[in-house]
Structures are given as C-alpha cells and as structure tokens.
Amino acid sequence: MPAFKVAVLEGDGIGPEVVSSALKVLEEMGKLSGVDFVFEKALIGGSAIDQKGTPLPQETVELCLNSDAVLLGAVGGPKWDNLPTEQRPEKGLLGIRKALDLYANLRPAKVYEPLIASSPLKEEVARGTDFVVVRELTGDVYYGEPRGVFFQDGKRVGVNTMKYTEDEIRRVVRKAFEIARQRKRKLTSVDKSNVLEVSGLWKTVVEEEAKSYPDVELEHLYVDNCAMQIVRRPSSFDVIVTGNIFGDILSDEAAVITGSLGMLPSASLGDKYALYEPVHGSAPDIAGKGVANPIATILSVGMMLRYSFGLKKEADFLDKAVELTLQQGYRTPDIYSEGCIKVGTEGMTEAIIQAVRKLWQE
C-alpha cells in the first residue's frame, strides 16, 4: 500500500474547519483506493504568532521539508493587523513558499453547471469554462532590483524593475507544458513582447521549449488582449502561463467568472515540494460557526492527488464528486439559492464523501 505524508497547516479563522473537511475526504479516498495518508500538523500565521511568537516557526519549515505535500488552510485576521509588517501572519505564507522554492502558482477557473447562474457572464459565454492559470511566483516587478522611491532633481521617483532570467522563465514554462499535456493539450503564453524586452525574452524561451512538446498546441497573447478574451471566450482556454504580475491580475479576473471564491483551489509547485490551499481568506467573521464552504480546500486536495501523488484517477473522482454534490442541490450559505438544500461545513463534507463512495461503487 503506497503511503504519503502530508504536512497540515490549519492556520487561522476558518482554516481549521475547512482543512478538517478536506482531510476527511482525503481519508475516504485513501480507504477506497488503498492509499495510506499520514497527517502531521504544525503552526503557521496568527496561531503561530500567538503560540510561538513568529508566523513561521522553524519546526513548521522542517516538517514541510520532510513531507510529500503541504496542505494550508488560511492565514491572517484583524487580531494581528496592527503588528509590524515583518511580523504579520501573511509573512508565514511568503516564508514557507520561499523555503520550499515554489515557483509556479496554479489557479484553476472552472464554472460548474449547477452554479452557472452565479457567474457575472452570460450563461452561454461562461458554460464550459475550465482552465488553469500558471503564474510564475519568484521574479518580475515584485522582486526585481533596483526598487524603491528616490529623489531625482529634487523630485520623488518610484522604481520597480521587471526582471526575469532565462532559467526562471524556462522552469515555469516547462511546468505549464507538462500540465497542459495532462489536460486538453493547449497552452496560452501571455506577455507584452510588443513593448517590453523582458517579455521578448519570455516569448523566445516559450518558443524554444515548445519544440519539446509538439503534442501541445501553443498560442501567444498580449496580456491586454488575454484579459479581454477571458471575458469573451473563457471556455476556449486550457492552460495559461504568464509572469508574476500578469498572472496576479489574470487569475483574479478568472476567479470572478466562476461566481464564488469559496469554490476555488490553488497549488504552488516547485521541483521538489508543493503547497495546496484554497484561494479564499481566513474569513474570521464566520470562523467557528460551521457555515464555511469547504469545497475550495477539498478541491485543493484533489490537486494534491493529481500533481504531488500522481493519482489522476482519484483526482478525477473527487472533482466529479463535487460536481455531483452540487447537482444534488447541496449548498453552503455563500452559494445558496432558493430551492436548494442549505447545509453547513460538515453537511457539505458528508455529502461529498457520499458522492465519492457512490461514484467509486459505480
């Protein structure tokens, strides 16, 4: 029986609740498929500050480095908003990403047919949308030097540097091609090579890497055109790969199409390690009330099955179980509409587990 070790970082707010749900689903999947999952918890974010005085204790880093994958709930909340920037919960998330050398952020955007009315797009436009934005995480204007605010001729000048090395581009592009190869075999590379030299290098490296993936269709779009096409023809995309700042913006645009942040999972991948987390925040206003939507975290576990453990069949079953649960009418308050079955966190979790069992038996 194969065994995988998962580092569990519950975090703050609704983090412990939605993570608990995802682990229950993962355990059920393990029982059905004969895979053993071992969970070990550690602190991160505000809870780590309260107990250890730091948002990222060293023992948390060590656990993650010695695990097959990391599952994170959420970090942050108003309780810690007045702390200095370097001591706030969010620094724990940035710190663990750096410690694990995670350079590719995956943000799926899928419109589920039972929730299609929640999309701000017309139904005929939104229908069939199912793509992934692969965003480079370690370079671009967020990290390039020089940076800062300087005085020049007695006036203030703000500077940030958009910078990419060939190797930084190549590794995330390869990751995107591999993901496209597992999906519908289409990759859209997004840049601004008509204006920016760094984007010219990006496009050149993408073309070089494409020679190793002749089975994947490649298209290039300028970022402004891509932003427009995501709204006009979202169902035409499969995998989008782009730099840090473009990916930051486009993945948020894509998230709106789905109609609910509570439905969106994510993964941050490196060559050796990977971290999975829901896109939504810690939602402290509903923490402990048992009404949080666990689907984003459950779908994040599905990504873990697919990308860290190579369990594609199990990942597909989990995705189908979520869709079946929605078709059956189960809704947490954030996605509830008249005529549906309103459930809390535990009710939605149990409904998905029952759907997993049903599909597996069939």
Give catalytic residue positions. Answer: 142, 192, 224, 248, 252
Strand duo 239-242 + 217-222: pairing:
unpaired
Helix/strand/coil (H, E, C) string of the chain?
A: CCEEEEEEEEECCCHHHHHHHHHHHHHHHHHHHCCEEEEEECCCCHHHHHHHCCCCCHHHHHHHHCCCEEEEEECCCHHHCCCCHHHCCHHHHHHHHHHCCCCEEEEEEECCHHHHHHCCCCHHHHCCCEEEEEEECCCHHHCCCCCEEEEECCEEEEECCCCCCHHHHHHHHHHHHHHHHHCCCEEEEEECCCCCHHHHHHHHHHHHHHCCCCCCEEEEEEHHHHHHHHHHCHHHCCEEEECHHHHHHHHHHHHHHHCCHHHCEEEEECCCCEEEEECCCCCCCCCCCCCCCCHHHHHHHHHHHHHCCCCHHHHHHHHHHHHHHHHCCEECHHHCCCCCEECCHHHHHHHHHHHHHHHHHC
Q: How far apart are CA 307 and CA 304, in angstroms?
A: 5
Q: How many whole angstroms from its chain centre is CA 279?
A: 6
Residue 257 CB coordination number (10 Å): 21
CB 263 within 8 A of CB 145: no
